[in-house]
Amino acid sequence: MINSILFLLLLIAGIGFFIRNSKKIIAAVHLGTPLPKVDRKKERWFQMLRLAFGQQKMHRNLLVGVLHLVVYLGFIIINIELLEIIVDGLIGTHRVFKGLGRFYNFAIATFEVFALLVVFSVIVFWMRRNLLRIARFWSPEMKGWPKSDANWILIIELVLMGLFLTMNAADYTLQLKGHEAYPLAGSFPVSGLVVPIFQNFSLETLVLIERVSWWMHIGGILFFLNYLYYSKHLHILLAFPHTFYASLEPKGKMANNEIVTSEVKMMLGLPTEPVTAEEVSFGARDVHQLSALQLLGAFSCTECGRCTASCPANQTGKLLSPRKIMMDTRDRATHLIEKGDTVKENFLLDHYITREELWACTTCNACVEECPIGISPMSIILSMRQYITMEEASSPSELNSMMTNIENNGAPWPFNSEDRLKWID
Partner 1 sequence: MAEYAAEGKSPEVLFFVGCAGSFDQRAQQVTKAFVKILNSANISFGVLGKEETCTGDPAKRAGNDFLFQMQALTTIETMNAYGVKKVVTTCPHCFNTIKNEYPSLGGNYEVLHHTQFLKQLLEENRIQIEGGSFKGKKITYHDPCYLGRANGVYEAPREIIKKLEAEIVEMKRCKKNALCCGAGGAQMFKESESGKKEINHERSEEVNASGASVVAAACPFCNVMLNDGATATDSSVEVKDLAQLIVEAADL
Q: Which residues bind partner 1 (CB under 8 A)?
A: 249-257, 260-261, 263-265, 267-268, 270, 282-283, 310, 312-313, 315-320, 356, 359-366, 368-369, 382, 385-390, 395-396, 398-399, 401-403, 406-407, 410-413, 415, 417-423
Count of residues in the chain: 425
**Sign of the torsion angle spanned by Cα atoms 415, 419, 421, 423:** negative
| Closest distance of CB 243 from partner 1, Å | 18
Q: Is the Cβ of residue 204 or residue 249 nearer to partner 1 in the bound state?
A: 249
Nearer of residues 47 and 386 to partner 1, judged by Cβ:
386
Exposed e or buried b per residue across 272-287, where buried means at least 16 C-beta atoms within 10 angstroms of its C-beta:
eeeeeeeeeeebbbbb
C-alpha 275/C-alpha 260 separation (Å) is: 9
| 29 versus 313: smaller Cβ distance to partner 1 | 313
Is the distance from CB of 369 to CB of 51 less than 8 angstroms? no
Q: How far is the CB of 296 from partner 1 (least distance, A)?
A: 22
Min dist. Cβ of residue 330 to partner 1 (A): 23
Neighbour count for residue 267 (Cβ, 10 Å): 9
Residue 250: CB minimum distance to partner 1, A: 5
- DSSP E strand boundaries for 52-198: none
Rank residues 56 and 187 by Cβ distance to partner 1 and give the closer one: 56
Closest CB to partner 1 among residues 72, 352: 352
CB of 408 to partner 1, least distance (A): 11
Nearer Cβ to partner 1 (4/363) = 363
Q: Least distance (Å) from partner 1 to the CB of residue 379? A: 12
Residue 159, Cβ density class (10 Å: 0-12 exposed, 13-18 middle, ≥19 buried): middle
- Of 71 and 320, CB closest to partner 1: 320
Long-range Cβ contacts of 18-26 (<8 Å, 24+ apart): 18/222, 18/225, 18/226, 21/226, 21/228, 21/229, 22/229, 24/229, 24/337, 24/338, 25/229, 25/234, 25/238, 25/299
Encode 280-343 in three state secondary structure: CCCCCCCHHHCEHHHHHHHHHCCCCCHHHHHCHHHHCCCCCCHHHHHHHHHHHHHHHHHHCCCC
* Residue 292 CB, nearest approach to partner 1 (Å): 20
Task: Specify the DSSP element, H or E, that contains 119.
Answer: helix 102-130
Question: Could you give the dihedral angle defined by the CA atoms of residues 40, 46, 50 and 54, in that order, rounded to the nearest 10 degrees?
Answer: 150
Give the SS3 label for residue 33: strand
Q: How far is the CB of 266 from partner 1 (least distance, A)?
A: 11
Residue closer to partner 1, measured from CB, 63 or 254: 254
Least gap, CB of 231 to partner 1 (angstroms): 29
Residue number, 57 or 129, with CB nearest to partner 1: 57
Please check whether residue 414 is in contact with residue 400, taking contact to mean a CB–CB distance below 8 angstroms: no
